[in-house]
Structure 1
Amino acid sequence: MSLAAQAAESPVEAFHRLLSMHQTLSADFVQVVVDANGRPLQQTTGKIDLKKPDLFRWETDEPFAQLLVSDGKHLWLYDKDLDQVTRQPLDRRATATPVLLLSNDVQAIEKSFDVQGRTDGSGLWFFLLKPNDKESLFTELRISFKDSHLMEMMFADTLGQQTRITFRNLEEDVLQPADLFTFTVPKGADLIEQN
């Protein structure tokens, strides 16, 4: 698509196009959480794997080692330090989990958010999404792309904390192992069921 055609797109059309371009995504990430005053609270690194629709794997490294897996039906959270697994039905609302937004239906996103966007004309796109649902876990979400490649996500929660996730070593539309989005409770781990 030419730069002139991209510049003529509405923000919703551009967001739809960019989110729809790739069916799978794998990347390393750096996640930084700051408080309402901008003071750093936590920095973690990890890896994300995603397959549309509704499948993702989000693994953070030590010292905050956790694994979050969506198998399309359930969301599994494994806290390695506590040796504890939490399982709950997958909440498919686009406002439920920011990562789910990347693997979700674009029409559902359009219904769930007010989407604003702008481009600098060189292939960089910046989007601001504000949830329509007052019970959303976050108050706004910012996503940036370079050409068709996801660069960064930032979301602010209701307490004023901000989480910025920067993606690196991005691979798109690559074959992923079938068992990547399945989860087996480790032997000896406690399982907590949430509804």
Structure 2
Amino acid sequence: MRFLAAFLCFIPALALADAAQDLKARLDEIHSLKGRFNQLLSDKNGKPLQSTRGEFAVKRPGYFLWQSEAPYEQTVIGTPEKVWVYDPDLEQVTIRKAQNEADGNPARLLSGDLSEIRSTYEVSLQTADGASRFQLVPKDANSPYRHVEFEFKGSQLAGLDFKDKLDQQTQIKFEQVQPNADIPSSVFVFNPPPGTDVIVDE
């Protein structure tokens, strides 16, 4: 009986380990990625708060571009060392150290180091209607997110979902995705337009 109980406890742990390995293997195949996104932010009751769309590009290790279009224009560019957040309406760019950014940032997750997924998150997998959804629950109680989800349709990354500590949910759907595209380094260089206020937040 003790052996049976121990074996039953071992099965979920094995499933979690396999889910983490499966997710890492899928993401390891993506060395770069670019396309378009639709992003919807909803409150804890599911009421839409903000809808944005735009273009993104990621390149490992540690490079990303996340560019939202009007009416909520914003450009976020990241490198392994710095992150630039440019708000054209405010004529302002904020520069931060990359390690100070939340790990749940969608482009940061896609472009970052995948070797620590298992040590950083509890990973589980659900499949339905040809889609695979990997849910990542942070082990760190201080994480700003309750969970992060990667959605794949077949082998194609189709979207990301986030739920924060206020139970607000961000749903991101990808379109026109080009995996392992040739992305020039110049994409991840930000030159502030003349007259832009530069704020260094380190």
- Which of 140, 156, 163 matches 1:149? 156
What is the TM-score when the length of structure 1 is the normalising length? Answer: 0.90
Counterpart Cα distance in 1 of 2:88 and 2:199:
14
Q: Paired residue for 1:103? A: 111
Secondary structure at the counterpart of residue 25 of structure 2: helix
Give, in whole Å, the separation in 2 of the partners of 1:117 and 1:186.
Answer: 44
The answer on 1:125 being equivalent to 2:132 is yes
Q: Which has the larger radius of gyration?
A: 2
CA distance in 1, matches of 2:137, 2:102: 11
**Counterpart-to-counterpart distance in 1, 2:21 and 2:172:** 24
1:172 aligns with 2:182: no
Identity of aligned residues (%): 32
Offset, 1:56: 0.2
Q: Amino acid of the residue matched to residue 102 of structure 1?
A: L
- State how far apart, in whole Å, the 1-side matches of 2:32 and 2:49 are: 31
- The structure 2 residue matched to 1:76, chosen from 64, 75, 84, is 84
1:24-67 Cα distance to aligned partner (Å, 9 max, x none) = 10010000000011111000000110001110000000000000
Which letter maps to 1:185?
Answer: P
Query: Which whole-Å deviations, capped at 9, do the CAs of 1:109-156 have from their partners, x for residues lacking one?
Result: 22211111133484x311110011122121111111122211011101
Change (3 A) 1:58 1:194: same
**1:71, distance to aligned residue in structure 2 (A):** 2.1
Moved more, 98-107 or 40-49: 98-107
Q: Provide structure 2 residue ranges, at least 5 long, that are not aligned to the other structure.
A: 1-14
> Could you tell me how far apart the structure 1 residues matched to 2:57 and 2:100 are?
18
Q: Indicate the SS of the match to 1:107.
A: coil
- For 1:192 and 1:60, the matched residues in 2 are separated by 20
Between the aligned partners of 2:128 and 2:100, the Cα distance in structure 1 is: 32
Q: Aligned equivalents of 1:184 and 1:100: distance in 2?
A: 20
Q: Which residue of 2 aligns with 1:4?
A: none
**Partner residue, 2:124:** 116
Are 1:190 and 2:190 counterparts?
Answer: no
Contact kept in structure 2, 1:56 and 1:71, CA below 8 Å: yes
Check conservation: 1:75, 1:90, Cα contact below 8 A. yes
Structure 1 SS opposite 2:175: strand
**SS at 2:195 equivalent:** coil
Aligned residue number for residue 69 of structure 2 = 61
TM alignment of 1:34-53, pairs within 5 A: 34-53=42-61
Q: Is the 8 A contact 1:21 1:148 kept in 2?
A: no
Structure (1 or 2) with the greater helix fraction:
2
Aligned length: 187
1:107 positional shift: 1.5
Q: Structure 2 counterpart of 1:59, which letter?
A: Q
- TM-score of the aligned structures, taking structure 2 as reference length: 0.87
